[in-house]
Structure 1
Amino acid sequence: MIVELSHPVIEGMTTYPGIPGPVLGTHLSREDSKQLYAEGTQFHIGLITLAANTGTYVDTPFHRYADGTDLATTPLDRLADLPGLKISVTEAGARAIGVDAFTGLDVRGRAVLLHTGWDVRFGTPAYVGGHPYLAPEAARWLVEQGAALVGIDSLNIDDTPARGPRPAHTLLLAAGIPIVEHLTGLGALPAEGFRFHAAPPMVAGMGTFPVRAYAVLG
């Protein structure tokens, strides 16, 4: 069974305040393609202009560090076919996800997915303010314990005041641990027993990009 964990990319959508929405266009229309191919054969070639942080996307170390691995050099075994672990904090109450959320769990080599339930607000003003995030001490613990990837279904893995220090990004990406933000559908996953995939295109010199994140159960 495959579980979809991504938001669709839709023209004009808002992912994060201040980041422009994607613009879709056409390079070759089906009508124009009639002049290029045999009768009855048509193709459509689209164009898209979008910020790299659109929809459900991955942050690689280059997003934070100039000498970090980018989309083309981050190893695939950090992005695909990872044993998954879902941490459900939907009833926690507090915004900050602390170390206590991981008590007794083995995260080494696993994709750790933080299920906050915040994704139901995606695309609305309520998604922006007061979102759940990973506390700095919890990010440090995940680094020390050897997590392979960390994902979250809210606006940002860090708290987002206007000029905040972004400690979770700083700690995780320094350790080579990719981050997937704006996940959705995590409620459909079991706590474990699934494989997680979130590989982007191999774009050299970029640190973030939308992904088709999904989990394979069984």
Structure 2
Amino acid sequence: MRIIDLSTPVDAKVWEPNPVVHEVLSPAEGAVHMAEGMRDNHGLDFDPAVLPDGELLSLDTMTLTTHTGTHVDAPSHYGTKTSYGTPRHIDELPLDWFIGPGVLLDISDAGTGTIDAARLRRACSDIGHTPGPGEIVLLRTGADVRSGTPAYFTDFTGLDRSATAFLLDLGVRVIGTDAFSLDAPFGHMIREYQRTGDDGVLWPAHFLGREREYCQIERLSNLAALPAPTGFTVSCLPVKLAGAGAGWARAVAIVDES
């Protein structure tokens, strides 16, 4: 069994539209912090110098959004009103949605903007496989090479309504992308709306989630490392954040090489 990491790291050193703040309490500082807490809260005096090297444990505090790094969007992220009832949060979704056979569709030849259902049908034809219920579709746009730069958030390919509906009609519940979003870049959509007056070009993939219950995995990486378009298992279990519209995930592909 080989495990291929498909996740983008959360890194405070790289550019993000919502900056990540990473504060570290060192092991030495942790020892002092513990001693102060024992004195203030329990009336106990403890000299941290008796610890090996005067160190206890480190503590990391991170400030970030649930949409930083590789994450899974829940239906509640798409809006408060849906045609199928109350949209579920990330902690309320069935775990079996997030472990299943993977299908890799390569759309890396598309430019910035959106692709339609016809393009996805061609991608399925190219690999000789049409996704079905329980399968997790991963879209390789090639955008992950720009991860950590401003261009990652402005130059990528998304799905239009027809493309998203095409996959949902096949019974797919989880759609992943190595781009920032399953929709086109914000600027592209707004310019298209201003040009056409058609509000259907605004966040069509996300807003279809108000009619059809499904999840997106955004900000995947390393899809080029997958050995084949099928024949692997995807695990993208989201962190159990109560009442949240998304949860971080360590997405991996599991390849049986026996």
Q: TM-score range by the shorter chain?
A: 0.7 to 0.9
Q: Determine if contact 2:113/2:185 at 8 Å carries over to the other structure.
A: no
Deviation at 1:173, TM superposition (A): 5.8
- The 1:10/1:130 distance shift into structure 2, 3 A limit, reads closer
TM-score normalized with structure 2 length: 0.75
- Are the aligned partners of 2:28 and 2:56 in contact in 1 as well (CA < 8 Å)? yes
Match of 1:121 among 127, 146, 151: 146
Conserved 8 A contact 1:158-1:167: yes
Alpha-carbon distance between aligned partners in 1 of 2:13 and 2:243, rounded to the nearest angstrom: 25
Structure 1 residue 8, shift from structure 2 partner? 1.0
Change (3 A) 1:191 1:130: same
Instruction: Quote the RMSD (CA, aligned, Å).
Output: 2.2
- Against the structure 1 CA distance between its residues 144 and 6, is the aligned structure 2 distance closer, same or farther, given a 3 Å change threshold? same
Question: Residue 186 of structure 1 is aligned with which of 223, 226, 243?
Answer: 223
Give the structure-1-normalised TM-score.
0.87
Question: Aligned partner of 1:165: which letter?
Answer: L
SS at match of 1:192: coil
Aligned counterpart in structure 2 of residue 65 of structure 1, from 76, 79, 83 = 79
C-alpha deviation, 1:95, in angstroms = 4.1
User: How far 1:130 sits from its partner (Å)?
Assistant: 3.8
Contact 1:6/1:214, CA 8 A, preserved across alignment: yes
Aligned counterpart, 2:102:
84
Unmatched runs of 5 consecutive residues or more in structure 1: none
Q: Percent identity?
A: 31
Written as runs of structure 1 = structure 2, the 5 A alignment for 1:19-98 is 20-26=18-24, 28-34=25-31, 36=34, 39-40=51-52, 42-66=56-80, 67-79=86-98, 81-92=99-110, 95-98=113-116
Provide the rounded CA distance (Å) in 1 between the counterparts of 2:61 and 2:214. Answer: 31
By percentage of residues, which structure has more helix? 2
Q: Distance in 1 between matches of 2:65 and 2:15?
A: 11
1:160 aligns with 2:185: yes
Deviations 1:146-177 (A, max 9, x none): 10200011121112335562111122464221
Larger radius of gyration: 2
1:129–1:204 Cα change, 3 Å: same
Q: Check 1:107–1:96 CA distance in 2 against 1; reply closer, same or farther (3 A cut).
A: farther
Return the letter of the residue paired with 2:91. A
Tell me the distance in 1 between the aligned counterparts of 2:114 and 2:203: 13
- The answer to whether the 8 Å contact 2:240/2:247 transfers is no
Kindly provide the CA deviation profile for residues 55-105 of structure 1, in whole angstroms up to 9, marking residues without a partner as x: 1111010111333111210111112x2110000112345742322323451
Single out whichever of 165-174 and 184-193 deviates more from structure 2. 165-174
Match of 1:149 in 2: 174
Structure 2: gaps of 5 or more residues = 35-47, 81-85, 191-200
Distance in 1 between the 2:144 and 2:112 partners? 17
- Per mean C-alpha deviation after superposition, the further-off stretch among 204-213 and 32-41 is 32-41
